[in-house]
Chains A and B, each alone.
Chain A
């Protein structure tokens, strides 16, 4: 019996190590473009830059959400990894977690390590006052990116965020510009209560309330999930309710919606029966625009590294920042005008 257990365990270990070899070769075939070893990290902290810190390097502690969370996060992490390298004069340490308490712990660790700058994309808005006060006492300068927190603004130097409400407004303005005689919208929402959902829903809700020829045929959350979106659109098709716009709050859900349209034989895209709108600008989604299968994709800019770099450079040279909250430029792409260049530059 014991022998058998050992044999099974050995087999399991071998299988797992084989899988590991496999993935290693995956890295080399795809060019290892992640720029670090973050691919499979599940949380906790790991250092991406060489540990040896020379006096010249600026020590930066970066606390982010798990890069596996979404395409947005993956692109965001890649961008930060590429910016905060020893070649650019940084000694960066990264910590990933989707949990606020783990992030706070990591922040405390970075403060103990005497980093010069703490960059933070908080999992949750609350609970940061204590650790940020510690940071201030230790002379660590804090910059928020991507997400804001409920803390006194004096506790951080700057916050670089996306304006989700503006993203929604840009999209709704574009839709209004299409000049349809009536708008029957299927509105597929993200996880209820998330900043992206609130911002992107808000603009549409306001417009529907204000205009008499705008109607919401179905408004439902698909929780960022493509399949749920597919089911929701399927349910509208099954009920024979006419609609001509799909407003999905991210690309995945738009993709699910389109799958439902395809199986029901409803045409979609430029000059077709149904207008398809998505958000986030995934590369594959922009290609759908380029192929005229979708109509609109709103950007949610994950590239904050250059903004942060500017801030640190300004502070290092003794300058002051002219404003605390920096809202990034975000575009909306129209299938009628998008180019291959846009896909390459803005696709994530």
Chain B
């Protein structure tokens, strides 16, 4: 059996998969019960699965969904959207505004949940339109363009609900961030899978992926080939807006309420990190969606592991930073090229000796 080491080393998914394996090993050595999954009744009397792995799948969902959109934005525009957390607050707030009718403690839903979700989608996409216009037409650096909503977003979210913190009365609303009665797997997992499948189908059966990469690699040559770079960039922000709306549904549903100042705080940084962990160049161009999605779950895996190890609260960010630095350096295209060059040199040397 021959394995082409060079090909393996240059594979973009090598680093994230290695990271995942190492994290698994660390947990296995520390406490093998990390991998047990229990089936036990919750306080509503339904049997549900629980265990660290389920926790990772559950809480990693929002990040995986956001990573899809962030990958496209990164690839097309060569920049990142830092307003994701704030736009989640906006979309979530709009959803609650519709569901609760502007009352902080309604007796019943003012509108069906699906209407609330559709409004959130529209609002999320409008935020995407705003960012996309600034980036694609006015050619503002993505990070600067999205800085506007990053700064103002949470205040806008508070203003939508008149600074009330509405609580959704219908227990069904909690299904999206929790469990559907009778189904023991967290609903968030299904939502994430649905989003991933849709994204995979889009990339397989449309030219979206190809065009996005073309625009990211060389804008003017893609224009000469009949692609409209402005539209592709704009579209990527709108798709991210849609991802944001889905993530907002999960976030708001988890506790059936919202806190404008802390909901999805710093999640944009984790989403960007997921893209980087997946081995994608943050300067745009070629991308691997699976890498980003894997990256998202690795981040959650890391968080859960750190909680498990009971790392001192004040030192938690430092631990996370160290791991992240190692991962990002090793998954950067430069290091990967060096690594594969090194291995081919070794091979050549070995051949020379022989």
Residues of A within 8 A of B (CB): 5, 8-9, 12, 15, 19, 22-23, 25-27, 29-30, 32, 34, 38-42, 66-71, 74, 189, 192, 218-221, 223-227, 230-232, 234-235, 237-240, 252, 255-256, 259, 261-267, 284
Contacts and interface: CB of A to CB of B under 8 A. Distances in A.
Interface in B294-345: 303-304, 307-308, 310-314, 316
B162 A264 contact: no
8 contacts: A12-B126, A12-B133, A26-B97, A69-B261, A70-B261, A226-B254, A239-B33, A263-B50
Interface string B145-184: 0000001101110111111110100000000001100000
Contacts of B133: 8-9, 12
A280 to B, nearest CB: 12
Given A5-B137, A238-B52, A263 B178 contact: yes
Contacts of A71: 165
Contacts of B312: 219
B103 interface: yes
Contact of A230 (B101, B105, B254, B265): B254
B160 A235 contact: no
B313 A221 contact: yes
Given A235-B308, A240-B33, A29 B101 contact: yes
A68 B151 CA distance: 13
B108 to A, nearest CB: 15
A235 B304 contact: yes
Contacts of A234: 50, 55
B97 A232 contact: no
Contacts of B40: 264-265
A263 B179 contact: yes
A68 B262 contact: no
A68 B154 contact: yes
Contact of A220 (B43, B103, B155, B310): B310
Most chain A beta-carbon contacts within 10 A, residue among B159, B165, B251, B304: B159
Interface of B: 31, 33, 40-44, 48, 50-52, 55, 59, 97, 101-105, 126, 129-130, 133, 137, 151-152, 154-156, 158-165, 167, 178-179, 251, 254-255, 257, 259-263, 265, 303-304, 307-308, 310-314, 316
A284 B167 contact: yes
A263 B45 CA distance: 10
Nearest to B308: A235
B255 A255 contact: yes
B261 A23 contact: no
B43 A265 contact: yes
Contacts of A235: 52, 55, 304, 307-308
B13 to A, nearest CB: 27
A223 B85 CA distance: 15
Given A259-B254, A266-B43, 20 more contacts: A12-B126, A15-B126, A26-B102, A26-B161, A26-B162, A40-B156, A68-B163, A70-B259, A189-B313, A220-B307, A227-B255, A231-B304, A232-B307, A235-B307, A238-B50, A238-B55, A239-B31, A252-B259, A264-B40, A284-B257
B254 A39 contact: no
A11 to B, nearest CB: 9
Contacts of B152: 42
B21 to A, nearest CB: 21
Contacts of A23: 159-160, 162
Contact of B310 (A218, A221, A266): A218
A219 B313 contact: yes
In the complex, which of the residues B133, B155, B156, B251 has the most CB atoms of chain A within 10 Å of its own CB atom?
B155
A256 B50 contact: no
Contact of B259 (A42, A220, A226): A226
B42 A263 contact: yes
Contact of B262 (A25, A223, A240): A223
Contact of B254 (A27, A70, A227): A227
Nearest to A229: B255
